[in-house]
A and B are shown apart, each in its own frame.
Chain A
Amino acid sequence: MSKHLPEFQMVALALGDQALASDAPARKHLGHCPGCAQALAQLQQAVYELRRDVVEKAPSPVWTRLHSRVVASRSDPDVPADSWWPLLAGQAAGVLLLFGLFLLLGHWLDGALLQESLSAPGWIRYPVTGRLALLLISGMGLLSALALAPVFWWEAMDPFPSPRDLNNRNH
């Protein structure tokens, strides 16, 4: 008797893979090997059960709830349901705020510099380290705001939110 059919072939046969279904040696083996024939019958039964009744009646309260959401979203003309601009505007406002803070603190430091410069040489250290730290913090803030923008946008708008990310989290 020839070798038993490998599992992948059994599954493909059960799923109705045409190329493998017409494979003559496999057919012949199944005709002679009761073990493989039984295993295939079980797999075919499982596939049949899984495919049976793939349509069920959706519970009626779902449409009722959905319909009221749809009606509510249509009666709100200011924010179209699929609008992306509020998110983008929020991000832009965040960036502007950070930039404003940067200017304000720079201005304040300039004031401090004027006073500090009276008692040199302290002013040399103060503005350099201070400004460097400020630049670093503001830069990081700006970058993270910009980096987060597409994430929020994507999550909110796309019906397929980053499957790869989801995989990394799920498995």
Chain B
Amino acid sequence: MMMKLEKMSDEGLMQLVSAREAEAFQALYDRYAGRVFAFLRRHCGDSGLAEDLLQETFWRVWLSARTFDPSRGDFCRWIYRVALNVSRNEMFRRRNRRECGLEPFEGESRGNVPPAGLETGLARALEKLTPAMREVVVLRCMEGWKFNEIESATGTSTGTLKARFHRAIKELRRLLSWEENR
């Protein structure tokens, strides 16, 4: 059964998931968990938190499988959008709690280590960007999304995203002490 599921398309698996097939759900998890986890780690900048967000992302996939419509885009984009929303919601919640003094400031939270595979300098520089800047850099550079795709996922206009992206690149340049010899 599992062998057959492994060869099935994402969309086929999602049909089974919407019929509450746990094995199809596991096949999807095995296929995407690693990528989504890497994305969440870079997006929120916290490994421990990324673990919780990964679980929440797939839980929503399980709950909302019936709302997935393959005619509106492929599963890969869909699950990244779910992950993006889960992470944004959590960051918003945490910011509110911090403002109420209920949660430690960034850098004091658990498991705040640079993502594996990233040069420490770049990982640290990414962490120092604002969440909005980090988001656009991660989606544009790491995931290769076009600006109009980021617009439809985040609701921010392409113009604002482009301006933010270029501010982020400038900031990264400064943080990584790249000399401007031009």
Q: List chain A positions with a Cβ less than 8 A from chain B.
A: 4, 7-8, 11, 15, 33-36, 38-39, 42-43, 46-47, 49-59, 61-63, 65-67, 69-71, 73-74, 81-82, 157-164, 166-167, 169-171
Contact = CB atoms under 8 A, between A and B. Distances in A.
A15 B143 CA distance: 11
Nearest to B18: A82
Contacts of B75: none
Nearest to B91: A170
A54 B39 contact: yes
Given A39-B180, A47-B141, A70-B25, A158 B67 contact: yes
A166 B38 contact: no
B34 interface: yes
Interface in B20-43: 20, 22, 25-26, 29, 33-39, 41-42
Contacts of B95: 170
Given A34-B181, A55-B35, A55-B38, A46 B54 contact: no
B172 interface: yes
Give chain B's interface residue range (CB within 8 Å of chain A): 35 or more
Contact of A59 (B51, B67, B81, B181): B51
Closest 6 CB pairs of A and B: A53-B117, A163-B155, A35-B182, A58-B33, A164-B155, A35-B181
A66 B59 contact: yes
Contact of B55 (A47, A66, A163): A66
Interface of B: 20, 22, 25-26, 29, 33-39, 41-42, 51, 54-55, 58-67, 81-82, 85, 88-89, 91-92, 95, 115-119, 122, 131-132, 137-138, 140-144, 153-156, 162, 165-166, 169-170, 172-173, 176, 178, 180-182
Nearest to A80: B20
A57 B33 CA distance: 8
A158 B41 CA distance: 23
12 contacts: A4-B182, A53-B118, A55-B35, A56-B37, A58-B54, A66-B59, A69-B59, A82-B63, A159-B85, A161-B85, A163-B85, A170-B92
Q: Label chain B's interface by main secondary structure.
A: helix
Nearest to A6: B166
Contacts of A161: 85, 89
Q: Label chain A's interface by main secondary structure.
A: helix
A81 B93 CA distance: 24
Contacts of A59: 37, 51, 54
Contact of B166 (A11, A15, A46, A169): A11
A167 B154 contact: yes
B58 A7 contact: no
B79 to A, nearest CB: 9
A50 B126 CA distance: 10
Given A46-B141, A61-B51, A56 B116 contact: yes
Given A65-B55, A167-B155, A170-B88, 7 more contacts: A34-B181, A39-B180, A43-B169, A53-B118, A55-B34, A56-B38, A159-B82
Contact of A15 (B65, B141, B173): B141
A46 B125 CA distance: 11
Contacts of B59: 66, 69
